[in-house]
Amino acid sequence: MTTQGTIRVIQYGLGPIGSATARQIVEQDGLELVGGVDIDPAKVGEDLGEVIGLDHPLGIAVVDDLLTALAEKGADLALHTTNSYFDLFQSQLSEIFAAGLNIVSTAEELSFPWLAHPEQATKVDSMAKQAGKTVLGTGVNPGFLMDLLPLNLTALCRRVDRITVKRVINASTRRGPFQIKVGAGMTVADFTAAMDEGRMGHVGLPESVGMVFHTMGKTLSRYKASVEPVVADRLIKTDAVEVAVGRVRGLKQVARGYTDEGEFVTLTFIAALDEKDEGDTINIVGTPDLEVKLKGTNGDIATVAIAVNAIRRVNEAAPGLVTMRDLPVITNW
């Protein structure tokens, strides 16, 4: 453990994911956690180690202001874990660039914004280049399982006709807030109403479809998405929720990307209590046909890991908005 070459990181956002990335930064050789920023008054002023759930204090107070966090030691990079949407995070990125830091973010819409949010993408890219800094949006999904990994597997193919990815999560093994987020316990009517308002469902499928199409040089001529409830046929109880027969135990979400020749990418995301066969399956129809099955890609651990593991590559990258398909392989290190 040498301090030479150590990358100093500010944790920007101290919710469950941000606390977990901060803990991993603390245990990772080559990284130093130098500050924590959050707007929650219950956290501001408290010791960062205690806020993120370490069993010892770090001697650093949580602050609600980035410049204060930087005042003592400076920093190289901010790990940004506040929210998913451009509307909400764009001014935060601007603030971080102004402070002269690179950014790794878990914001889903940032993972590949060039197709779904081209204007905002161009703006963030310009901001980054003007500041001479690099920003990456990443996570297990979007960022890896439904975009980078299937793209990488197509390297083995002489021809690719169709890509399908199916991710199945047994929400019973996940945090209570996740169970609530996927609709567990709702009536079908409430679920449908929330869905119609665009409030239900996993964020990131358009970004994954966009990364696959754009990287493979295909034109996305049509995009179709659907969300439907998965209904319980027996009583389910967890620590967080009780689901009666006929109520919602989770959701099934499908995104389809089409070229002029037909459906090219199909992404299916199922997250429900009591769901069997948890795992990820990637099928590539082409020459040859490939089938890849993954077990163990726990969403929270994997998103936290990939964000922290990406820090080194982002720190080495050229300025601008980069995505997972632009960087050399990211590994645990």
Q: Least separation, in Å, of the C-beta of 325 and a copy of itself?
A: 5
- What is the rounded distance in angstroms from the CA atom of residue 254 to the CA atom of residue 223? 11
Length of the chain: 333
Residue from the set 268, 302, 315, 320 that interacts with a copy of itself by CB under 8 A: 302
193 binds a copy of itself (CB under 8 A): no
Q: In sequence order, which residues have a C-beta less than 8 Å from that of residue 172 and are 6 or more positions away?
A: 179, 236, 238, 273, 274, 275
235 binds a copy of itself (CB under 8 A): no
325 binds a copy of itself (CB under 8 A): yes
The residue (of 95 and 326) whose beta carbon lies closer to a copy of itself is 326
74 binds a copy of itself (CB under 8 A): no
Q: Which of 269, 231, 264, 267 has its CA nearest to residue 253?
A: 269
Q: In sequence order, which residues have a C-beta less than 8 Å from that of residue 315 and are 6 or more positions away?
A: 7, 76, 77, 102, 134
Please choose, out of 8-16, 76-84, 182-190, 212-220, the segment that lies near a copy of itself by the rule CB under 8 A. 212-220
Please choose, out of 68-76, 167-175, 220-228, 298-306, the segment that lies near a copy of itself by the rule CB under 8 A. 298-306
Residue from the set 67, 235, 245, 301 that interacts with a copy of itself by CB under 8 A: 301
The residue (of 268 and 298) whose beta carbon lies closer to a copy of itself is 298
Region of 201 (left: φ > 0; alpha: ψ -120 to 50; beta: rest) is left
CB distance 271 to 175 below 8 Å: no
Tokens of 109: 């819409």
The residue (of 55 and 233) whose beta carbon lies closer to a copy of itself is 55
Binding mask 153-192 for a copy of itself (x = CB under 8 A): -xxxxxxx--------------------------------
327 binds a copy of itself (CB under 8 A): yes
Residue from the set 230, 310, 311, 321 that interacts with a copy of itself by CB under 8 A: 310
Q: What are phi and psi of 166, to 5 degrees?
A: -125, 125
Q: How many residues bind a copy of itself (CB under 8 A)?
A: 48
318 binds a copy of itself (CB under 8 A): no
Q: Least separation, in Å, of the C-beta of 326 and a copy of itself?
A: 5
The residue (of 20 and 230) whose beta carbon lies closer to a copy of itself is 20
CB distance 260 to 155 below 8 Å: no
326 binds a copy of itself (CB under 8 A): yes
- 287-289-293 Cα angle (round to 5): 145
- What is the rounded distance in angstroms from the CA atom of residue 38 to the CA atom of residue 240? 26
96, 98, 101, 105 alpha-carbon torsion, rounded to 10°: 30
125 binds a copy of itself (CB under 8 A): no
Strand order in the sheet with 320-322: 31-37, 7-12, 77-80, 102-105, 134-137, 320-322
Q: Which of 71, 70, 49, 69 has its CA nearest to residue 59?
A: 49
Please choose, out of 2-10, 79-87, 247-255, 306-314, the segment that lies near a copy of itself by the rule CB under 8 A. 306-314
The residue (of 202 and 313) whose beta carbon lies closer to a copy of itself is 313
324 binds a copy of itself (CB under 8 A): yes
Residue with tokens 């969300």: 227
The residue (of 117 and 313) whose beta carbon lies closer to a copy of itself is 313
Residue from the set 89, 112, 144, 178 that interacts with a copy of itself by CB under 8 A: 144
Name the site residues for a copy of itself (rule: CB under 8 A). Answer: 24, 140, 144, 148-149, 151-152, 154-160, 215-217, 286-298, 301-302, 304-306, 308-310, 324-333
